[in-house]
Structure 1
């Protein structure tokens, strides 16, 4: 089958047809200089909550899919914005981990980098069940990207393809998932524990997760990207993020689920983020947009290992093209501007805290979105 990088090029329902309603008289906007809060706490009931100064953070992308320089630059940039950096499923790259303001370690079936040192340097742990571009299928790193250092981190031979399982061994029931959540919580001395799923059988999967006692749930919808995925599957699968978010929020509210909801998959700008939060997301994980801030020019060559910008490659000569200092500053600029724009959205809608926003602050010009999400039609 043909492999393909980035997001599907097919039309995907998105957030552009949802609009923010500015406050006027029935609700007053805030002054331009009024202080507002976008601070976000993940794992509010955990022994060690993760506090971020913004509801946006850099999502999971593995060292292997991305170069070491790209991972380190993303981590340093996110730290300058006082938000989180995620490890990705390939394990924890040390220089990336120690540069992070808050580090979210991804716990995967192959258990890469599952050590006490990594847990001590992490602020949260996320159990990866699936991702939106290849639901029901494990990850794949082509052999041309498996360098000696990546082979060492993953315990695999250099130069050979690496496949991860399509499902998590040992998770056959909600009780099994709860056992893993409890184990991770105990071993990490109280870090927030999350579960990440692709947007598919959303309500059924949420029912399964609800019994685990986890602190947060990440849902990865159609519209998100990947370093490499079978094109036939990426183009044919997963619920669009805008619908997945609405369905998840509705189910969680109706069933009294207290876990926080993180959404990812195709969100790029502050306007996407603010709409997602108003629809009920507690935070938003971003991947493609920070990559573009790094310098990605969207050649869609990620799976070739020959990214000319030095981002999605393990070729040392190509990797040298990415200046970590300059790239990290661009990532910080993007995240900081996004955060400032989120504060402006708070003011124009009359909210002192972004987490006060709701669907009352939105309307839509799309009848299908109105019917599916409950957002009022304009």
Structure 2
């Protein structure tokens, strides 16, 4: 089995091989590299544009995820159905129907953050693609009843940020992001504010708690897409100087006169802003948790990335000892894609593998009687079958899944289609449904009735897309649960999925499909 595509030509970096499909599988180079080629592949464009080619393009307006074909992923498991009985409802054909399946769940140490759908939208921070779609995404999350996390660097990147003694005094950008959720809040979900090294130094979470009324904050150790800090591109010298003055790493150095001259001459058009990596330490972690609680945080989350097993063990143990309200574990291959392209494909522990380790570590603590925080598994999860599998593989510990690219795609498409419908330019694909929002978007009328016509008219139109996306997944998840005869999420067990390969079974401890029910089947046969 080939795990790597030998990437040297991909739409992600707008590169391609001259010889197309005829290439060296190890290096990714064309099987014949021609003297005289002007350069289309990643190596060639790197010879001309250097480090610009590290990142997916066009940077800040797309999302990307790994193209690597991992040996085992969620597709290597199937959901098991049964013709017998029902759990969580009376075993009556008139009552055990899929609309009756309960997909609501709760997170928080006291299980008091209710979720209409078992998902949390993971942190998306200061990137353009998140900023340009946030009001649609956050409003949709509030209406769908799922928690959403405001990602890193929002305050630091705010052009109108006001500082006092090096700490945030006011940030209109963060204020706007919080309000985008709270003004559409329906009693389910919550908005949380994440922080990295720079955010912590700026006092972002304290500002969010004390001035914006935020109840939930998230400590960030990383993500599944990269093992370094976040990055964005800056297209003016003034912006680059501003961000460096706020403590960020900016490349090339905008304060260097030679760099300024090169920029003015058009040698390059963008600066890079990078965040620092955190240094995890048990004592400082618990100190930070205590600081946040004293500042008034009602809920504290921890987000960790696809780091090596020892770091996962630290995350599990620290979250347990601190009695955190949510631990999100992000497997390699996911992310929203403002990450170095090769890094996104070639580093970290993929989702199924890290979830197998996570399950083992949580079971170990549970055997000792330790507190087990609500857990979210993330890493490329986009549709309802993966939601079911994510919950089942680590049952009973995983309460929600982490999602990012899927909801963001729903927001972007909802915004694009909705704005065209409002302008009287319905895309050809959707003209068969009608000409109004209520005709084109299947759940628009439902939302209009729920909110009232005046409020509906003010709704960011992409939110209809996010709401519709979650409603589709809700019905699909209920159907899978009904097939398994499990009518609430807590009834789902590891026995509700089967491994399709011996390798998948060995990695996760999930039974191989040819071994499942073996003893029971023999008893039935006498």
TM-score interval for Structure 1 and Structure 2 normalised by the shorter chain = 0.7 to 0.9
Matched, 1:3 2:55: yes
Pick closer, same or farther for the CA change 1:116–1:200 going to 2, 3 Å. closer
Shift, 1:272, TM fit: 0.4
Pick closer, same or farther for the CA change 1:358–1:234 going to 2, 3 Å. same
Pick closer, same or farther for the CA change 1:32–1:147 going to 2, 3 Å. farther
Shift, 1:324, TM fit: 7.4
Matched, 1:175 2:283: yes
Q: Which has the larger radius of gyration?
A: 2
Pick closer, same or farther for the CA change 1:377–1:67 going to 2, 3 Å. closer
Alignment match, 1:301: none
SS in 2 for 1:289: helix
Alignment match, 1:293: 410
| In 2, Cα distance between equivalents of 1:33 and 1:209 | 35
| In 2, Cα distance between equivalents of 1:244 and 1:90 | 27
Return the match for 1:328 from 456, 459, 463: 463
Return the match for 1:96 from 177, 194, 213: 177
Pick closer, same or farther for the CA change 1:276–1:133 going to 2, 3 Å. same
Asked if 2 retains the 8 angstrom alpha-carbon contact of 1:21 and 1:362, the reply is yes
Pick closer, same or farther for the CA change 1:284–1:333 going to 2, 3 Å. same
Shift, 1:69, TM fit: 3.7
Alignment match, 1:263: 377
After superposition, the CA RMSD in angstroms is 3.1
Alignment match, 1:235: 345
Asked if 2 retains the 8 angstrom alpha-carbon contact of 1:133 and 1:224, the reply is yes
Asked if 2 retains the 8 angstrom alpha-carbon contact of 1:124 and 1:192, the reply is yes
Alignment match, 1:376: 511
Shift, 1:26, TM fit: 6.2
Asked if 1 retains the 8 angstrom alpha-carbon contact of 2:223 and 2:335, the reply is no
Shift, 1:296, TM fit: 5.7
SS in 1 for 2:235: helix
- Structure 1, unmatched stretches of 5+, are 298-308, 311-322
Shift, 1:96, TM fit: 2.6
Alignment match, 1:14: 73
| In 2, Cα distance between equivalents of 1:79 and 1:146 | 37
Pick closer, same or farther for the CA change 1:356–1:68 going to 2, 3 Å. same
Alignment match, 2:363: 253
| In 2, Cα distance between equivalents of 1:243 and 1:261 | 16
Return the match for 1:198 from 287, 298, 305: 305
After superposition, what is the alpha-carbon deviation per residue over 1:124-181, rounded to whole angstroms, capped at 9, x for unaligned?
Answer: 221111111111x111111139997xx68x947998532211124xx4x312111111
| In 1, Cα distance between equivalents of 2:216 and 2:65 | 27
Asked if 2 retains the 8 angstrom alpha-carbon contact of 1:138 and 1:166, the reply is yes
- Structure 2, unmatched stretches of 5+, are 1-50, 57-62, 155-172, 249-253, 255-269, 418-457, 514-526
Alignment of 1:1-378 (within 5 A): 1=51, 2-4=54-56, 6-12=64-70, 13-25=72-84, 31-32=96-97, 35-45=100-110, 49-91=112-154, 93-100=174-181, 101=185, 102-111=190-199, 113-118=204-209, 120-135=212-227, 137-144=228-235, 155=246, 161-168=272-279, 171=280, 173-189=281-297, 191-207=298-314, 209-211=316-318, 212-213=321-322, 214-256=324-366, 257=370, 258-280=372-394, 281-295=398-412, 325-378=460-513
Further displaced range: 155-164 or 367-376: 155-164
**TM-score (norm. length: structure 2):** 0.60
Shift, 1:340, TM fit: 2.4
Shift, 1:195, TM fit: 1.5
Asked if 2 retains the 8 angstrom alpha-carbon contact of 1:57 and 1:84, the reply is yes
Asked if 2 retains the 8 angstrom alpha-carbon contact of 1:58 and 1:74, the reply is no
